Chains A and B, each alone.
Chain A
Amino acid sequence: MWRDHLTEIIVFSLLFLLVSVMGFVAARWRAPKDMAHLDEWGLGGRSFGGWITWFLVGGDLYTAYTFVAVPALMFGAGAAGFFAVPYTIVIYPLVFLVLVRLWSVSHRHGFVTPADFVRNRFDSPVLALLIAITGIVATMPYIALQLIGIEAVLKTMGVTGDNALARHLPIIIAFAILAAYTYQSGLRAPALIAFVKDSLIYIVILVAVIYLPYKLGGWGDIFAAADAKFDASPNPNDGILLNGNNQLQYVTLALGSALALFLYPHSITGVLASRNRDVIKRNMSALPAYSLLLGLIALLGYMAIAAGVKPLPGNSAGSVDNNTIVPLLFDQQFPDWFAGVAYAAIGIGALVPAAIMSIAAANLFTRNIYKEYLKRDASPAQEATVSKITSLVVKVGAVACIVFLDPQFSIDLQLIGGVIILQTLPAVALGLYTRWFHRTGLIVGWVAGMGLGMWMLYQVASPTRKHFGGSAFPLSEFGFDTTRTIYVGIVAVAVNLAVAALVTLALRAAKVEEGVDGTEPDDYFADEGDPRVTPGTERDADSAREPVA
């Protein structure tokens, strides 16, 4: 019952109110001269320095869902869930090498989205459209998942209802507030709120990893409890270490997820909002602090085992909702007021990425669909307006996904999302280094990668489901005599690349028109204050814009 959790609910609500106010005030923070411009609304004026970028990108990449789902995975499967750690180590050198180039070329040409870049680089509106749609489709379920993070907390506090509408009312209200201040303040809102969110999370986790092992008898006992649980379970692939079957899956999932994460539109939005190349590069050394945090959060799953936490029932009869184990652990082990702080950390933690994701998806729609196909001569002010409205639509869609569909559907879609966003790797990431690929080759490769990825995901069964049971594809399906599994996304993107290369060779032999590269080699090294940024405007107020060809 919710009355037993009154203190938690009050603390949670107060902190939630605080960030809502901050969200609205953010419009005046680092006040822009003209908010009616997509660079201002959608990229915070491209002016964020080191600290803001650290909080913003950290708050963006490490979402509430991550904080809830990773320990849930550790709780359920053990070592396999720890892939989140190598995954978030590998991503930073990759960003250091690759996304810095994207920042430079975007800075000089005024690109807002990865599809803008592809449009210009490969002279292909069709390829850009595919990249934009891929980004939007991959981002939508990710936003919906943030709601699952909040719901896990609300459920633990006993805030539920008898029918779907009553049960979801708190989330609908939360998202309505979020939508309103994102509409008003744009990227400045999550940037400002991220300070609160991340501070709360760091405090909660530091307390948790010092206090809980002390209460539960030390780390040795915690690992022993986890080991005993997995030994007793019938599943051969769980345990506190990996076995021969899931090692390949572990490393391909870590690598594939890292490659996917930095292709996600919301990560790119966070990176493009930084002031210069140095800010990004320095952040690649500072952001791994969050990886350490995530590693410790993952271990909360084992602490929940040691503390004997029993997950709350799921939406369908007989199922359990492992996502509730972390909130339950806090409820059981912490004083009420501190559990309330922890819940607020998770709840607010959902708002920051949800805001950035909806902005990123809105920018994609505005730049690569609206401006490309609906209104070619749209002014920057019109672009900002369309983006603001689209961000509202995106959030309504995300809430509708959770209210009207089984949440499992969003989880499936997010699984698919990681695989499909990887299919933009050849055009976006490799495109930053080479224009060797033919634009049509990239399109055919994308189709092949998407098709194969979907088929493979469909084939993956789990103990409870026949299809879409996970992303670990058994290699025996390809006719190999082995019980090993591999991450679907890596195979799909490898095929994508191979097809793109073959088609490129064929088209080049046939001398098919390749279009004109709109960028120059030294665009990829341009930095703040570059003399060739489209002139006529002061950088901080209205930077880096040129009419899209």
Chain B
Amino acid sequence: MTAPEPEAPTTAPSRAKDHSPWNWLLFIPIVVPLIPAFFNGDSPRVFGFPRFYWLQLAFILLGVGTTTLVYQMTKKRGGR
């Protein structure tokens, strides 16, 4: 945030919720699927799928896991 914070006691809890350091974790599922060195290969194969395919599909789980974790952790911080 760049603008100065006004005095607004009623919304202070939600502010804390949005500024949680847990949010930084969300950069993992943004960055990891965009590095071809991880997935651009054939072996090992899983159920006949080359690594290119199964690993990228597995990144979906990485995304789900991270967003779920961040949601749960930030929810607690907000006290809801």
Query: Is there a chain B Cβ closer than 8 Å to A118's Cβ?
Result: no
Complex Cα distance, B60 from A295, in Å, reads 10
CB-contact partner of A522 in B2, B6, B42, B64, under 8 A: B6
In the A-B complex, the 9 residue pairs with the closest CB atoms: A219-B48, A220-B48, A86-B33, A93-B26, A525-B14, A522-B11, A285-B68, A247-B36, A251-B34
Q: A86-B59, A435-B2, A524-B18 known; 5 other A-B pairs, CB under 8 Å?
A: A85-B33, A86-B56, A285-B68, A295-B60, A525-B14
Query: Is there a chain B Cβ closer than 8 Å to A497's Cβ?
Result: no
Identify the closest chain B residue to A525 (Cβ). B14
Q: Give the residues in chain B near A79, CB-CB below 8 Å.
A: 52
Instruction: Pick from A93, A250, A251 the residue with the most CB of B within 10 Å.
Output: A93
Q: Is the CB of B52 within 8 A of A241?
A: yes
Q: Give the residues in chain A near B60, CB-CB below 8 Å.
A: 85, 89, 288, 291-292, 295
Q: Is the CB of A240 within 8 A of B67?
A: no
Query: Is there a chain B Cβ closer than 8 Å to A319's Cβ?
Result: no
Known: A241-B42, A433-B1, A524-B18. A89 touches B71 (CB 8 A): no
Query: Is there a chain B Cβ closer than 8 Å to A436's Cβ?
Result: yes
Known: A241-B41, A242-B36, A288-B60. A299 touches B29 (CB 8 A): no
Complex Cα distance, B1 from A434, in Å, reads 6
Identify the closest chain A residue to B26 (Cβ). A93
Complex Cα distance, B17 from A73, in Å, reads 42
CB-contact partner of A521 in B3, B17, B26, B52, under 8 A: B3
Chain B nearest Cβ from A260, distance in angstroms: 15
Q: Is the CB of B40 within 8 A of A521?
A: no
Complex Cα distance, B66 from A89, in Å, reads 11
Residues 214-228 of A contacting B (Cβ, < 8 Å): 218-223
Q: Is the CB of A527 within 8 A of B14?
A: yes
Q: Is the CB of B14 within 8 A of A526?
A: yes
Known: A90-B29, A223-B48, A525-B11. A85 touches B56 (CB 8 A): yes
Query: Is there a chain B Cβ closer than 8 Å to A255's Cβ?
Result: yes
Q: Give the residues in chain B near A96, CB-CB below 8 Å.
A: 26, 67, 70-71
Chain B nearest Cβ from A300, distance in angstroms: 13
Q: Is the CB of A223 within 8 A of B50?
A: yes
Known: A93-B27, A531-B10. A525 touches B15 (CB 8 A): yes
CB-contact partner of B33 in A254, A285, A527, under 8 A: A254
Identify the closest chain B residue to A84 (Cβ). B56
Chain B nearest Cβ from A425, distance in angstroms: 15
Residues 398-444 of A contacting B (Cβ, < 8 Å): 433-436
Q: Is the CB of B49 within 8 A of A219?
A: yes
Q: Which of A10-18, A32-40, A161-169, A276-284 contacts B (4 or more CB under 8 A)?
A: A276-284
Give the contact-size bracket for chain A.
35 or more
- Contact flags (1/0) for B54-80 with A, using CB distance below 8 Å? 001101101110111011000100001
Query: Is there a chain B Cβ closer than 8 Å to A97's Cβ?
Result: yes
Q: Give the residues in chain A near B29, CB-CB below 8 Å.
A: 89-90, 92-93
Q: Is the interface of B mostly helix, strand, loop or mixed?
A: helix
Known: A79-B52, A218-B48, A517-B3. A93 touches B41 (CB 8 A): no
Interface size on B, residues (CB 8 A): 46
Q: Is the CB of B34 within 8 A of A90?
A: yes
Q: Is the CB of A92 within 8 A of B3?
A: no
Chain B nearest Cβ from A183, distance in angstroms: 36
Query: Is there a chain B Cβ closer than 8 Å to A264's Cβ?
Result: no
Complex Cα distance, B58 from A291, in Å, reads 11
Q: Is the interface of A mostly helix, strand, loop or mixed?
A: helix
- Contact flags (1/0) for A232-255 with B, using CB distance below 8 Å? 000000001110000100110011
Identify the closest chain A residue to B68 (Cβ). A285
Q: Is the CB of B5 within 8 A of A292?
A: no
Q: Give the residues in chain B near A531, CB-CB below 8 Å.
A: 10
Query: Is there a chain B Cβ closer than 8 Å to A82's Cβ?
Result: yes
Q: Is the CB of A255 within 8 A of B49?
A: no
Enumerate 19 A-B pairs (CB-CB under 8 Å) in ascending A order. A85-B59, A86-B33, A90-B30, A90-B34, A93-B30, A94-B30, A96-B70, A96-B71, A223-B53, A254-B33, A278-B75, A282-B71, A285-B67, A288-B60, A295-B57, A521-B5, A522-B6, A526-B11, A531-B10
Chain A nearest Cβ from B6, distance in angstroms: 6
Q: Give the residues in chain A near B75, CB-CB below 8 Å.
A: 278, 281
Q: Is the CB of A285 within 8 A of B49?
A: no
Q: Give the residues in chain A near B26, CB-CB below 8 Å.
A: 93, 96-97
Chain B nearest Cβ from A58, distance in angstroms: 14
Q: Is the CB of A82 within 8 A of B52?
A: yes
Complex Cα distance, B35 from A100, in Å, reads 27
- Contact flags (1/0) for A299-333 with B, using CB distance below 8 Å? 10000000000000000000000000000000000
Complex Cα distance, B40 from A82, in Å, reads 11
Q: Give the residues in chain A near B70, CB-CB below 8 Å.
A: 96
- Contact flags (1/0) for A76-115 with B, using CB distance below 8 Å? 0001001001100110111011000100000000000000
Identify the closest chain A residue to B27 (Cβ). A93
Chain A nearest Cβ from B65, distance in angstroms: 8
Q: Give the residues in chain B near A436, CB-CB below 8 Å.
A: 2
Complex Cα distance, B47 from A218, in Å, reads 9
Query: Is there a chain B Cβ closer than 8 Å to A538's Cβ?
Result: no
Known: A86-B56, A241-B41, A522-B14. A255 touches B34 (CB 8 A): yes
Residues 18-44 of B contacting A (Cβ, < 8 Å): 18, 23, 26-27, 29-30, 33-36, 40-42
Residues 488-534 of A contacting B (Cβ, < 8 Å): 517, 520-522, 524-527, 531
Chain B nearest Cβ from A114, distance in angstroms: 20
Chain A nearest Cβ from B37, distance in angstroms: 9
CB-contact partner of B57 in A85, A240, A525, under 8 A: A85
